[in-house]
Amino acid sequence: MLRAVVMAVIAAGALVAGRRGQVVPGLATAVIVLVVVRPDLAEDLGLALSVAAVAAIGLLAPWLAHRLARVVAPALAEAAAVTIAAQAACMPLLALMDARLGPWAVAANALATPFAIPVTLLGVAGLALAIPVPGVAAVLVELAGWAAWPVAVTARAFAEAPGASLRWPAGVRGIVLGLCLIGAVVVAARASGRIARAATAMALAVTAIAFAPATWLPPGWGGAPRGWTVAACDVGQGDALVVRAAGAVLMVDAGPRGPAAAACLERLGVTRIDLLVLTHEHADHTGGLDEVADAAAIRAVWLPHAASAATTSGAARATADARLPVEGEAVTLGGIQITVMQTGPAPRSRDGTEVNESSTILHVEAAGVSLMLLGDLEVAGQQRLSRGPLPAGVDIVKIAHHGSAAQDAGLVSALAAPVAIATVGADNDYGHPAPEALDLYGEGEPWCCARTCAGTCCSAPPMAP
């Protein structure tokens, strides 16, 4: 709105001066004015998106509309050209936001555009008259609200349409694909003959690669690893682990709030979770519950002790089968055998140590792989676990409490797992994984960062490939 208002003032000044208004000079002047008055806007992603979209509409949309008018009605060609140009220009910036995009954007914008003009004009007029003539301003704003109603109805309708939300790749891959898409659209709009057709094909190919399910892509392009059984999701400082065997899927913890755990499920091609176990009530283990429930159908949830209202209500929305696990119970899901080794006691307060000690500890066997998942147990809980019968031949252990210094040497020795996983956030403030934990589990063996297997990982020593 700031960008639009400043551009409108500049356009009005040009009109008074008898000059013909031009989009790009007006946009450039508006950006200079805004950044001088509000320097913080130089780093504002919203302004960057707005400027990119308007620049593309001014520079690219007329060429696209001319090209599209050969095959569709001129009015439809213009509406489609504006949307395609603006969307393509925003792709590299949207990749920084891990944004989701709607394939119905062209149709939605074509229907909403006629109403957006009166909304803007009436709204700006209402703002201008708010102090000198408040009564008139109130009427104008009311009319703007009525004009906005069809835009809202259109947005909601297309948001609920099938396939309404697709994830554009984040990070470097998303930025590169976005730049390729912009280049292809520009060439397709301004070239002719075979070059234009080749650029159009490239734009379609880039879009298909960006929106292709992760299971269709090779791992190097962001696809799922082939033939996986155990996956520790990259959710930053938190836990989210997925196990798959014989068609069944177990997920242990949902990571912190945000899209990371859901994105991991999408990359792995997981659309159904037979059992989601929330080991204990800490935000880095339960925060992503709602996003996980949106990404996959959850059949059952094992709740943590002293679950918060948010966790309880989130589990209830996800499934009708949500309950506390019982120590010693064993469940088989397809090719996955799950045994509750320890759970509780329930914390008497929200003290972090007590909540950690209430972690549900699982032994899982899947496709011939034996796992011990230790939640965030403190030393006392680990010692209590080590005094009971432990499974033999454990292949993988998920280190307690993200590899904190609080590790029981007796339990580590008893498990003697050849592979240990510490799920941590890069450069976290806790110093996880602690050198003491790495020494205890590693005994001099190299550690490897799951993300790169090169360089350094968090506070770990140098890693081998």
Same domain, 171 and 236: no
The arrangement of strands across the sheet holding 248-252 comes to: 230-232, 241-245, 248-252, 275-277, 301-302, 322-323
Same domain, 311 and 176: no
8 Å CB contact between 432 and 236: no
8 Å CB contact between 300 and 338: no
Mean pLDDT of all residues in 191-199 = 83
Same domain, 365 and 341: yes
Distance CA 176, CA 210 (A): 10
Mean pLDDT of all residues in 58-77 = 85
Query: Which of 359, 339, 364, 335 is CA-nearest to residue 347?
Result: 359
Query: Which of 465, 350, 195 is CA-nearest to residue 203?
Result: 195
Query: Which of 139, 230, 162, 211 is CA-nearest to residue 421?
Result: 230
Min mean pLDDT across 217-231, 239-253, 350-364 is at 217-231
Of residues 202 and 339, more confidently modeled: 339
Question: What is the reported pTM?
Answer: 0.63
Same domain, 375 and 328: yes
- In the 8-state DSSP scheme, what is residue 254? -
Distance CA 118, CA 112 (A): 11
Same domain, 201 and 260: no
DSSP E strands: which ranges in 51-113? 100-101
pLDDT for residue 449 is more than 60: no
Please report which confidence band the pLDDT of residue 86 belongs to, taking 50, 70 and 90 as the band edges. Answer: confident
Residue with structure tokens 């994105």? 263
Mean pLDDT of all residues in 433-437 = 86
pLDDT of the residue at 459: 36
pLDDT of the residue at 113: 77
**Does residue 456 sit within a domain?**
no
Same domain, 338 and 192: no
Same domain, 168 and 234: no
pLDDT of the residue at 222: 64
Residue 289: which CATH number?
3.60.15.10
Domain ends where: 214, 238, 270? Answer: 214
- In the 8-state DSSP scheme, what is residue 401? G
pLDDT of the residue at 215: 66
Please report which confidence band the pLDDT of residue 329 belongs to, taking 50, 70 and 90 as the band edges. Answer: very high
Domain ends where: 214, 242, 265? Answer: 214
Measured over all CA atoms, what is the biggest interatomic distance in the chain, rounded to whole angstroms?
89
pLDDT of the residue at 110: 75
Angle 237-238-242 (CA atoms, 0-180°, nearest 5)?
135
**Does residue 223 sit within a domain?**
no
The range of the structural domain enclosing residue 190 comes to 2-214
Same domain, 8 and 49: yes
pLDDT of the residue at 450: 53
Min mean pLDDT across 129-133, 409-413, 442-446 is at 442-446
Which of the given ranges, 108-117, 159-168, 181-190, 280-289, has the highest pLDDT on average? 280-289
Query: Which of 400, 396, 452 is CA-nearest to residue 426?
Result: 452
Phi/psi of residue 97, nearest 5 degrees: -105, 0
Min mean pLDDT across 133-137, 371-375, 426-430, 458-462 is at 458-462
Same domain, 121 and 270: no
Distance CA 224, CA 211 (A): 14
Q: What is the mean pLDDT of the chain?
A: 84
Of residues 197 and 373, more confidently modeled: 373
Query: Which of 282, 260, 255, 440 is CA-nearest to residue 359?
Result: 282
**Does residue 276 sit within a domain?**
yes
Q: Residues near 226 by Cβ (< 8 Å), separated by ≥ 6?
A: 219
pLDDT of the residue at 465: 28
- Count up the domains in the chain and report the number: 2
Domain ends where: 188, 214, 240? Answer: 214
pLDDT for residue 163 is more than 90: no
Phi/psi of residue 336, nearest 5 degrees: -115, 125
**Does residue 459 sit within a domain?**
no
Residue with structure tokens 């060439």? 187
- For 69-170, where are the alpha helices, taking DSSP H only? 74-94, 105-129, 134-159
Of residues 428 and 457, more confidently modeled: 428
CA 173 to chain CA mean position, Å: 14
pLDDT for residue 263 is more than 80: yes
Mean pLDDT of all residues in 339-343 = 93
**Does residue 453 sit within a domain?**
no
Please report which confidence band the pLDDT of residue 326 belongs to, taking 50, 70 and 90 as the band edges. Answer: very high
pLDDT for residue 389 is more than 60: yes
8 Å CB contact between 387 and 408: no
pLDDT of the residue at 455: 35
Mean pLDDT of all residues in 329-354 = 90
Min mean pLDDT across 90-104, 186-200, 376-390 is at 90-104
Residue with structure tokens 């941590």? 424
As a whole-number percent, the residues of the chain with pLDDT over 90 amount to 36
pLDDT of the residue at 339: 95
**Does residue 96 sit within a domain?**
yes
Same domain, 58 and 104: yes
pLDDT for residue 336 is more than 90: yes
Same domain, 349 and 425: yes
Same domain, 240 and 306: yes
**Does residue 447 sit within a domain?**
no
Of residues 355 and 267, more confidently modeled: 355
**Does residue 164 sit within a domain?**
yes
Residue type, 11: A
